[in-house]
Structure 1
Amino acid sequence: MNFHTRVSLPAAKRRYSHAHRFVSLGSCFADEIGKRLSRSLFGCATNPLGNLFNPLAVSEILIRATEGRDFREDEFFEHQELWRHFLVHSSLASTDRERSIQTANQAIKILGENLLSCDLLIITLGSAWVYQKKEYVGAIGHNHKLPLSSFSKRRLSPDEVSITLKRAIQLLRKENKKLEVCVTVSPVRHLRDGLHENNLSKASLLLAVDQMVETCPEIPYFPAYELLLDELRDYRYFAEDLTHPSNSATEYIWSQFRESYFDDKTTELISELDQVLAMLNHRTLHTDTSQYAAFKAALQKRIHSLANEIPQAQSLQDAFQQLP
């Protein structure tokens, strides 16, 4: 008897290894994927300017980074003693305007450099709801706790999402011809918008991605949304807030991503790396025993083996040196 629906995984156009570089951009779920790529010692730039949930903000950041356009001084505003920008997360804001501008421009430069050199760009769309401000013409990625009465809110149509994203991706691929793109819809539920409104938003995103895949088959869709909502399909796979995936759910989605996008040897290396990281994080009460000495010898041997396969594995040796 089958108790759940299996989601079929797309066949990636290319299989990736530790020799490739990645950029993970978009909602907080993009952070989760980027975190796991970095943990597995892949070169990955993850949301250098902070999370971006709606496609207009993601597209504008992609275009600005590709064109190498700095943020201008007149784009920043002061609120609650910090100088902010509507496309930059408040964690990068400062009480000093020049420092805020400098930090934002450094982040957009880092993103641009990584976009022009990376092999796979992972875009995670969170919401089709966008906020607009009468006197501001650009996309808004962050409200920065300004009064909601100063914004108007609307839901993007699938056509708007598809056209805007395709324009940004096509511009980027003119500059980085080796670049592949993977688009996914975040399984995180935006319940502050309302449950029905969240479902409409996700529907717009899913329809938009379907249009993109149909007209641009070189831009595949990875079904993170369906893996949680259709395959796992249980509240035990959500965190306590009932909006974000639990750690076990995110790990499962990550395992499916690995199966789709990495070659067999790389998948084996990731599994070995996970075991080595668990050993490095293991703490014992008695470090003066022969058993612990044997444990360290075995661990060092495995680290040396990984270092021969993964250039970034030096960090494992550094962690090993910190062991008692």
Structure 2
Amino acid sequence: MQFHLSFPVAPLSAAIQYDHELLLMGSCFAEEIGEKLQEHRFNTVVNPHGILYNPLSITKALTSYLDGKVYTPGDLFQHNDLWNSWDHHSRFSGLTPEATLDNISRMQAAATHAIENADWLVITLGSAHAYILKENNRLVGNCHKVPAGNFYKRLLTVDEIVTALDNVMHRLFFRNKKINILFTVSPVRYIRDGVVENNLSKAILLQAVHHLVNKFNRLFYFPAYELVIDDLRDYRFYKEDMVHPNELAVNYVWEQVVKAGISPASQELLHSIAEINRAANHRPFNPESAQHRQFLQHYAAKVQQLMAAHPQLKLDDLLQRFQ
């Protein structure tokens, strides 16, 4: 008897390679996969605005990179002794406007460079629900724990998501002739919106994304949502909050990303780096033993070989671990 539904994930026709530059944006699931890419030494910028959930906030952030926007004190507000930006995640918030703007400016510069040079933009859409500030009808990327009574909550339509993304895609393709865009929908279940409401939100995102993927040649879709919801399909693959996929689920999706999204030559290099990472995290029983010194010398030599063969890889920290 079959108790598990699996499905093949079609390989991307334009695979990701180690010499590519990547920009990842979107929900917290984008950060999970982004951390995996960085751990395996891909040249990756992850969420330069911080975590963003709805498509309009993501397109607003992309537009700020394309426009070279410089944030000023007028873009900030103070709440709970912190200075915040409505466009950014609370990780950018600081005790002074200068501290907040310093954090924002540093990542804004990195994102502006990435948008000009990236080979891949990976967008993970989390929710079709958006929050609008009542005071001035402003879309916010993060509510910063401001009381809920200050916002309208609105379910975005397929048409306005498609229009917003379509406009920014045209600008992006004009600016960066080589960029490919990979869409995913986050498997995180936003049950705070309600179970029915969460499913409706995901359906809107899926419809919008597939409309765009069918329209542009350089747009692709990776089924992260389906892998967790339909393939794994079990609460044991969620954290205790029953909302976020756990480490097992993230690793399973990552395996499929590697198989379907990364070129065979880069997969081989990735597995070599994964082996070195495991060795670097190994805790010896006796650090002073001859056996452990031999172990360190062996992996130091491996790192040096990789650095010689792939000079674009930044492996100095690993080499220091073994030396």
Q: State the partner residue of 2:51.
A: 51
Q: CA separation in 1, counterparts of 2:128 and 2:32?
A: 20
- Tell me if the contact between 2:280 and 2:321 (Cα under 8 Å) persists in the aligned partners: no
Q: State the partner residue of 2:41.
A: 41
- Tell me if the contact between 1:24 and 1:34 (Cα under 8 Å) persists in the aligned partners: yes
- Measured against aligned partners, the alpha-carbon deviations of 1:221-244 in whole angstroms (never above 9, x if no partner) come to 110000000111111111121111
Q: State the partner residue of 1:67.
A: 67
Q: State the partner residue of 2:199.
A: 199
- Measured against aligned partners, the alpha-carbon deviations of 1:272-319 in whole angstroms (never above 9, x if no partner) come to 11111111111112123232232123212322232233335443x433
Q: CA separation in 2, counterparts of 1:192 and 1:125?
A: 17
Q: State the partner residue of 1:26.
A: 26
Deviation at 1:35, TM superposition (A): 0.6
Q: State the partner residue of 1:111.
A: 111
- Measured against aligned partners, the alpha-carbon deviations of 1:170-222 in whole angstroms (never above 9, x if no partner) come to 21121111100001000011111111111111111111112112222431111
Matching residue's letter, 1:86: W
Q: CA separation in 1, counterparts of 2:183 and 2:171?
A: 16
Residue 122 of structure 2 aligns to a residue whose secondary structure is: strand
Q: CA separation in 2, counterparts of 1:131 and 1:236?
A: 31
Matching residue's letter, 1:181: I
**Equivalences for 1:51-200 in 2 at 5 Å?**
51-200=51-200
Choose 300-309 or 30-39, whichever is displaced more.
Answer: 300-309
Two-structure CA RMSD over aligned residues (Å) = 1.7
Matching residue's letter, 2:224: A
Q: CA separation in 1, counterparts of 2:206 and 2:297?
A: 50
Deviation at 1:153, TM superposition (A): 0.7
Deviation at 1:61, TM superposition (A): 0.3
- Measured against aligned partners, the alpha-carbon deviations of 1:34-84 in whole angstroms (never above 9, x if no partner) come to 111111101000012210000010000001111101224322111111111
Q: CA separation in 1, counterparts of 2:195 and 2:301?
A: 52
Deviation at 1:323, TM superposition (A): 4.6
Matching residue's letter, 2:38: S
Matching residue's letter, 2:56: L
Matching residue's letter, 2:54: N
- Tell me if the contact between 1:42 and 1:312 (Cα under 8 Å) persists in the aligned partners: no
Residue 308 of structure 1 aligns to a residue whose secondary structure is: helix
Choose 89-98 or 219-228, whichever is displaced more.
Answer: 89-98
- Tell me if the contact between 1:10 and 1:221 (Cα under 8 Å) persists in the aligned partners: no
Q: CA separation in 1, counterparts of 2:75 and 2:136?
A: 9
Q: CA separation in 2, counterparts of 1:2 and 1:138?
A: 50
Q: State the partner residue of 1:318.
A: 317
Q: State the partner residue of 1:285.
A: 285
Deviation at 1:121, TM superposition (A): 0.4
- Tell me if the contact between 1:60 and 1:139 (Cα under 8 Å) persists in the aligned partners: no
Deviation at 1:9, TM superposition (A): 1.8
Matching residue's letter, 2:320: Q
Gaps of 5+ in 2: none
- Tell me if the contact between 2:41 and 2:314 (Cα under 8 Å) persists in the aligned partners: no
- Tell me if the contact between 1:280 and 1:320 (Cα under 8 Å) persists in the aligned partners: no
Q: CA separation in 1, counterparts of 2:311 and 2:238?
A: 35
**Number of aligned pairs?**
323
Q: CA separation in 2, counterparts of 1:43 and 1:195?
A: 37
Q: CA separation in 1, counterparts of 2:275 and 2:299?
A: 10
Q: CA separation in 1, counterparts of 2:74 and 2:320?
A: 49
Residue 139 of structure 1 aligns to a residue whose secondary structure is: strand
Q: CA separation in 1, counterparts of 2:287 and 2:146?
A: 54
Change (3 A) 1:98 1:284: closer
Asked if 1:226 is matched to 2:226, the reply is yes
Choose 102-111 or 198-207, whichever is displaced more.
Answer: 102-111
Residue 311 of structure 1 aligns to a residue whose secondary structure is: coil
Q: State TM-score, norm by structure 2.
A: 0.95
Matching residue's letter, 1:154: R
- Tell me if the contact between 2:16 and 2:262 (Cα under 8 Å) persists in the aligned partners: yes
Q: State the partner residue of 1:247.
A: 247
- Tell me if the contact between 2:133 and 2:139 (Cα under 8 Å) persists in the aligned partners: no
